[in-house]
A and B are shown apart, each in its own frame.
Chain A
Amino acid sequence: MVEFVDIALLVLLGITAFSIIRQKNLFAAVMMAGIYSLLSAALFVVMDAVDVAFTEAAVGAGISTILMLGTLALVGHSEHQPQHRPILPLFVVILTGAVLVYGTLDIPPFGDASNPVHHHVAPHYLEESEHEIGIPNVVTSVLASYRGYDTMGETTVIFAALVGVLLLLSLGPRPGRVASNGRATTTVRERDKAVSEEGMEEAQGDTLQVSDEENTLEDTNG
């Protein structure tokens, strides 16, 4: 029964992933990606990873989809037909896949309790956690106590990612003010950035000859 559910979920995942590539409408592709996440969460439950399934369902199908949709609202949702033939990527992918399948032939069979992965620190965690930490959920005790450093690093990475997003989206010049000619709306704080972007565009030989005059105008204003 478990095998049947496992195979069915994996096949569904494969179909979903395949239809994501075929999909030209990005809104549909994002919704399919949400379904993909939810299916993989179901697969994690079958694989006994309830904590992971919980996280995947909340993050992958929830927050991640909302972020993607928010991006699509900003950048548009149609994908162009690729211009070059997909022969070379297909060749690379099939070759890589063949090498990986060759690599799996040495992997110990799925679900065997004597696999090497189960004989390092995992038995220690499973046997001693109840006495050393005293909480029933081993995942929590490993996450927060045995591998506390690891989790602290992950938390810091998340914080660093937020700093990156804020630097990219919240502090830069606002959209539409630099791109169109509405330079008057650029505030003093954002002016330096806008000027430097203009400098870049000039260096690329674009049709922005007006920028010099505008700079002098702004200098007299400021």
Chain B
Amino acid sequence: MTALGLFNYWAVIFLMMVGFYTLIARGNLVKKIIGLNIFQTSVFILYITMGKIAGGTAPIFVKGGEDVSYSNPIPHVLILTAIVVGVATSAVGLSLVIRIKEAFGTIEEDEIQDESL
């Protein structure tokens, strides 16, 4: 597994930058939230990658397995809760988008700016 080196981290950075680009370059608010979700998931992958031990197994004890090495459970716990919190906060963002649509009649950033001038 060490042959992989830093590939996972670079892939994570690529995904992170794709999400970041969607967030700053696109004017559509729903697209921005999708970009935020891509970014968020890349952070999850970063954490889980750090917790992985080569040749390890999931941190659930097996009977009689004294010499089994387990992957680090702490990142798993952190990310497990972060996923559910992430969807809850996305819901808040999406409801803000709905209210913006009702108030301005559009969810495109530049049109909202024109309207509020």
With A90-B25, A158-B85 as given contacts, are A21 and B108 in contact (CB-CB < 8 Å)?
Answer: no
User: How far is it, in angstroms, between the C-alpha of A138 and the C-alpha of B103 when the chains are bound?
Assistant: 48
Contact for A126 among B73, B89, B105, CB less than 8 A: B73
With A51-B76, A96-B20 as given contacts, are A130 and B61 in contact (CB-CB < 8 Å)?
Answer: yes
Contact in complex: A48, B28 (CB < 8 Å): no
Contact in complex: B83, A68 (CB < 8 Å): no
Residues of chain A having any CB pair with chain B under 8 Å: 2-3, 6-7, 10-11, 13-14, 17-18, 20-21, 26, 29-30, 33, 36-37, 40, 43-44, 47-52, 55-56, 59-60, 63-64, 67-68, 70-72, 74-76, 79-80, 82-83, 86, 89-90, 92-94, 96-97, 100-101, 104-105, 107, 109-113, 115, 117-118, 121-122, 125-126, 130, 136-139, 142-143, 147, 150-151, 154, 157-158, 161-162, 164-165, 168-169, 172, 175, 179, 197, 204
**Chain A proximity mask over B9-25: 1 for CB below 8 Å, otherwise 0:** 11101111111111011
User: How far is it, in angstroms, between the C-alpha of A63 and the C-alpha of B83 when the chains are bound?
Assistant: 11
Instruction: Name the CB-closest residue of A to B78.
Output: A150
6 contacts between A and B (CB under 8 A): A20-B22, A47-B51, A60-B83, A82-B27, A111-B52, A161-B85
Contact in complex: B92, A164 (CB < 8 Å): yes
With A3-B4, A110-B2, A165-B91 as given contacts, are A50 and B37 in contact (CB-CB < 8 Å)?
Answer: no
Q: Closest CB-CB distance, A6 to chain B, in whole Å?
A: 7
With A10-B11, A49-B51, A110-B4 as given contacts, are A172 and B99 in contact (CB-CB < 8 Å)?
Answer: yes
Interface of B is mostly: helix
Contact in complex: A52, B80 (CB < 8 Å): yes
User: How far is it, in angstroms, between the C-alpha of A47 and the C-alpha of B99 when the chains are bound?
Assistant: 40
User: How far is it, in angstroms, between the C-alpha of A97 and the C-alpha of B73 when the chains are bound?
Assistant: 28
Q: Which of B13, B49, B62, B76 has the most CB of A within 10 A?
A: B76
Contact in complex: A86, B25 (CB < 8 Å): yes
User: How far is it, in angstroms, between the C-alpha of A52 and the C-alpha of B46 when the chains are bound?
Assistant: 13
User: How far is it, in angstroms, between the C-alpha of A79 and the C-alpha of B106 when the chains are bound?
Assistant: 11
What A residues does B17 contact at CB under 8 A?
Answer: 93-94, 96-97, 100
**Chain A proximity mask over B77-117: 1 for CB below 8 Å, otherwise 0:** 11111111111111110111111011101011011000010
Contact in complex: B94, A142 (CB < 8 Å): no
With A36-B38, A75-B101 as given contacts, are A110 and B52 in contact (CB-CB < 8 Å)?
Answer: yes
Instruction: Name the CB-closest residue of A to B19.
Output: A17
Contact for A49 among B24, B79, B85, CB less than 8 A: B79
Instruction: Name the CB-closest residue of B to A30.
Output: B34
Contact in complex: B45, A43 (CB < 8 Å): yes
With A40-B45, A43-B45, A47-B49 as given contacts, are A168 and B99 in contact (CB-CB < 8 Å)?
Answer: yes
